[in-house]
Structure 1
């Protein structure tokens, strides 16, 4: 493949549509006779509905219907989860909404109001009056921590590891740290709140949806509503951010479809910010223990990392909190354990780098504290314990350039200027601190299918039902196809976001680009072989006798001999060639298991942070950031840098401000708005210097790895480590707020 476009900072192909307002999101598609829906949320954490008064709501002008468990059409209950049935992997909760009088968390939807306008629907929803028989509920995570039980692991997501005798080695170590960390719940706040527009035509359903998984959503809806999958079309060409929250099927989607069926009207249900907090899962809270024992020269003798997280009693996704601790440091003794408590709260779900983002906060903070105890530079300590093979099982690393990332990052950041003494660096009233941490996230491929069409006019069409959640996914695939076929980028069109296209990968696990790229590359190479085959059949073709031409200049060439695809197809009397490629679920599972037996594949990096802490108020400001990453081959330098910066910004929010607050008496989320749930804004973020080593991973398609999640990992620890250097205080409980630093 001649690389004319891969690696370049190409502008996103959808940029003009988005910036000029031409792009339509899920809540922006017009339909005649469109109705609007609003949710009624439970106000108790657990109980039964004994009565539900809808009279006042029905009296509101414009109200079409009020659906409750007493009158709603039945949905089929969600099936049990199974890797062999992908639609079961996107179940947000096991609740069969409006088919039961049971309440499982404070905020669960218990009714849906459908009206002629969104204003009327919301007003009437506020007038619905359920009465409850309250039942005992458990909502206090900290109080339930002692009752945690071991998390069940799997071949893909281990929950426990034992190597040697870590506790004994810790006791015998010359230098050790044994620390407890906590992280709070976090809620999803994508720029586009979850939204659904549902339209029934007989037993055929069209859904405009803000989703990260078109194919699995379609399959799930077919099962829940008892219609053939071919009768459902899911359209999601643009998604205003996902981060994991739009990977599962939540109440808003199901109830919009249910309301459309019940009223025989097109129905739109756009969640408010508060409704997102109450009905869409977020990140679990955790408590974590990290204990490290080392010789006096810094070589690790023991690494212990244990965690307690939560799920809901009606669902929830366990997080791989100790994942990075399986891979980052060489130690003869390693003990990892993950445990869970089940609470009467909204089930948690994936949120950017689930497990690794919060697990690296604890691990990398503890490594920094060990460096302080040893009087050693924290980068030197990390490099002294950098493993040659995977520490827990001896597998090879597919490719790992963490040493190189630290070396370049230290140079770009100016690490040598750091005075290691806590509180020694100042700038007026500001205490200045510098911190580092390692970034780590595993690399995945997911099932994906692609078709590529090569026209006699020289145009190329790539078709794949992948999701464009704002990462430039279609642009990356266009760059790959242009290089594989040797055509101008402007001649490539990528069709995405429609379930009628070949089944695409879920936008999750940082695996969408690599998964689709594998299919694009294979399909393009099939097209090149087909085009060459057509040319060789013609006695007039300049390619006669050529065996391995290069794709360039809109055709196939070997030296000065060759011709364009247009000429080849025209001579053959063909208006196009088309090729398909991809990988189904069974092949994907077999490949995943086979790869995991052979090597460890992951993106990694070095995060460098400078903070300034006001010595009077304790205010923390991040003033500089440098991140250097080993993410394999870079497909689009602009979108990759944007993704990594976005992860770092989200990590800074996790470190300094984000926290979902739950009333421990009622289980209610009490800060369900962007006025009270504090995400970073422009004033909080400095210029972020991002650099990629751009070294291909030989085990991944085109050598690329995912970049969407590795950027957030290590960020919380880098900030905490910089605060420790600035103030001498080790904050072990996120977020790092003023009260945890004062008095200085």
Structure 2
């Protein structure tokens, strides 16, 4: 019986370094002769730079250079269309390419100085003259200019309709239609973006905050015409990213630009305000129309979404597609279009597309359930499907019904009074809401290396990232169990382009992708060890069948004969082997993808209390029941779901990047005015992992939990607010002014 590490709640192997301050993030790396950069941002949203005067800054002792479009010329990347692996279609933004201003806070100059303080001061002395042009930054005022994206970003699947939704809707006995909105949102990880670039002996070493070291290597090589082998990107720790680190950001380009020209190490970081100058979850308008039979059978779904993009790239998300797969329905019409604005290109943000589209769909499902006078949970169960009707394929596994059942039982859903405004706690109106969630369970090609030394120590490595999700820990667990050695003898390395190639850390696919590669390479090392055990004459298992042997706790043994055994280190000594090193690759089985749809699923139950006089909303309880295949580490996985639920609460009630359309600039570009929850905002959260066995999805049977935890939360909360108040707020975030205003405008909006 081998020791089990997979599925056990192991503590983070990187935890000690983090809590003691030994973990070094991108801004923590220091080298001799380090110089510092500070970025100057544009004050307009659209127009031309007519002149830049850097003379006062350059006159300061210690200021080394000021880079602008006037002195940055002929970089190789200017001839390329794509410069990173996560780029959407279009032309990527190129800092200092020309004098055109495309969005507010666009980088227009970079000051390099001997100290950070001097660079920051010198930046204030640079005078930039503009010829301003009329900009447009409002999605809702430009819906008439929407268009269907001619080509989406990598992984984008255009929506596919079926049946005749219009006719079914017209003929239906029960129907609803509504519009749902949400403004832009920004990632705001705790760690700011920072890059340190070091040029030494024709080699470039870069410490960068990123979710993909290989993507940054690809980017730098393309931009500056460098051989990839001469560019090393290192990123051992990431202080949160949530998608903001998928694409290389401005400071990476600028640090390398300066280091190559000055032949000195350069550090460039972004301020919190400048973190609002690239990428965000796009503002979106959604229109839904649903209909059902008197018995509660869903008869039609119409889902339209209009989302913003920049003027220079077509950023796409899978927003409406979920409405075609989550429930059984023969008539589905989907539409997804973009609106070009004078802002930066949106960027993937935790559960991109799904968290937006599912909120609207789950709110509409709740509205239709009330129109039917049917319990919202029963309505969902009645329209449950085991088939992906879009692709006419079964799911590889789907324990959503168990999620509904176990979540409802833990939450106490059976005690719910269906009538809005019927449950109270003193002056507070109490509401209960439910929502469904789904997310893709993908696997990407990945590589991993394993090095087993004669001292019994195993080092496994892959060029992936850990953005706080627990990648270090779960890969250590996989390696220890598969090879059969004690977990304390295993070290996992990541975040370095000198390590085997791994995909971007995103999409909830890292556990399945890199984990499968780790499993494969450790199996390969195990086979070599057992081969030595049966081929070495001094071994007690000489001429044995290796398939009958096992390895556990560093010992090779026959489970049917306890009288024999030999340690891994001893067999390596006897075989004259000082180390065993293997590199292996793992990837998805294309035949499986053709036969099955692979998703994770969840059911979210939320309780809110709404002050009847003030309209304030407090989320007092959340139960999130998740089916995501094998859970590699319940401790770190629970942490992921907790984080997702907290962010879902934040999305539902607080987060909003507010654009001042007069200036085309986000106004609340700081952590005091961009509201996110604090400890006092978060109450009881219960996470349930529903047992789900999936031998199809990937060799480990895992689906990833990074994103499924956030997807249904906003919908469940919005539905709970309606149940509490009888007021349907369709514009996120749900703030007190909206609750009170809608109640005042139409107190009897819905009669049940």
Query: So what's the TM-score if we normalise by structure 1?
Result: 0.96
2:750 maps to what in 1? none
Q: Do the aligned partners of 2:88 and 2:316 also contact (CA within 8 Å) in 1?
A: no
Deviates more, 1:36-45 or 1:353-362: 36-45
Give per-residue Cα distances to partners, 1:389-437, cap 9 Å, x unaligned: 1122320101101000010000111111211110111111111111110
Deviates more, 1:729-738 or 1:116-125: 116-125
* Structure 1 unaligned blocks of 5 or more: none
Give per-residue Cα distances to partners, 1:692-742, cap 9 Å, x unaligned: 114232222310011101111011101100100000011111010111111
Residue aligned with 2:221, SS: helix
Q: Do the aligned partners of 1:77 and 1:94 also contact (CA within 8 Å) in 2?
A: no
Cα distance change on mapping 1:56 and 1:665 into 2, 3 Å:
same
Among 709, 712, 715, the alignment partner of 2:710 is 712
Among 613, 616, 621, the alignment partner of 1:624 is 621
1:137 maps to what in 2? 135
Q: Do the aligned partners of 1:81 and 1:89 also contact (CA within 8 Å) in 2?
A: no
- CA apart distance, 1:335: 1.1
1:482 has 2:489 as partner: no
- In 1, distance between residues paired with 2:284 and 2:565? 62
Q: Do the aligned partners of 2:60 and 2:122 also contact (CA within 8 Å) in 1?
A: yes
Cα distance change on mapping 1:61 and 1:620 into 2, 3 Å:
farther
Q: Do the aligned partners of 1:81 and 1:88 also contact (CA within 8 Å) in 2?
A: no
Cα distance change on mapping 1:371 and 1:91 into 2, 3 Å:
closer
1:230 maps to what in 2? 229
2:448 maps to what in 1? 450
Residue aligned with 1:160, SS: coil
2:749 maps to what in 1? none
Aligned pairs, number: 735
2:118 maps to what in 1? 120
Cα distance change on mapping 1:187 and 1:357 into 2, 3 Å:
same
1:262 maps to what in 2? 261
The residue correspondences of 1:488-527 to structure 2 (distance < 5 A) are: 488-527=486-525
Q: Do the aligned partners of 1:192 and 1:240 also contact (CA within 8 Å) in 2?
A: yes
- In 2, distance between residues paired with 1:87 and 1:170? 42
Give per-residue Cα distances to partners, 1:506-536, cap 9 Å, x unaligned: 1111111111111111111111211111121
- CA apart distance, 1:93: 6.6
- In 1, distance between residues paired with 2:181 and 2:106? 27
2:66 maps to what in 1? 66
Q: Do the aligned partners of 2:178 and 2:289 also contact (CA within 8 Å) in 1?
A: yes
2:168 maps to what in 1? 169
Cα distance change on mapping 1:302 and 1:442 into 2, 3 Å:
same
- In 2, distance between residues paired with 1:91 and 1:516? 27
Residue aligned with 1:217, SS: helix
Cα distance change on mapping 1:137 and 1:202 into 2, 3 Å:
farther
The residue correspondences of 1:405-554 to structure 2 (distance < 5 A) are: 405-543=403-541, 544-548=543-547, 549-554=549-554
Among 583, 593, 601, the alignment partner of 1:580 is 583
Q: Do the aligned partners of 1:360 and 1:717 also contact (CA within 8 Å) in 2?
A: yes
The residue correspondences of 1:113-512 to structure 2 (distance < 5 A) are: 113-152=111-150, 156-278=155-277, 280-512=278-510
Q: Do the aligned partners of 1:44 and 1:134 also contact (CA within 8 Å) in 2?
A: yes
Residue aligned with 1:273, SS: coil
Among 546, 566, 569, the alignment partner of 1:566 is 569
Give per-residue Cα distances to partners, 1:3-30, cap 9 Å, x unaligned: 6111111110110000000011000111
Deviates more, 1:499-508 or 1:51-60: 51-60
1:740 maps to what in 2? 738
Give per-residue Cα distances to partners, 1:107-142, cap 9 Å, x unaligned: 110100112222222222222221112233222211
After superposition, the CA RMSD in angstroms is 1.8
- In 2, distance between residues paired with 1:519 and 1:231? 26
1:23 maps to what in 2? 23
- CA apart distance, 1:151: 2.8
2:14 maps to what in 1? 14
- CA apart distance, 1:77: 2.7
- CA apart distance, 1:60: 4.2
Give per-residue Cα distances to partners, 1:664-697, cap 9 Å, x unaligned: 1221111110111111111111121111114232
Cα distance change on mapping 1:79 and 1:684 into 2, 3 Å:
farther
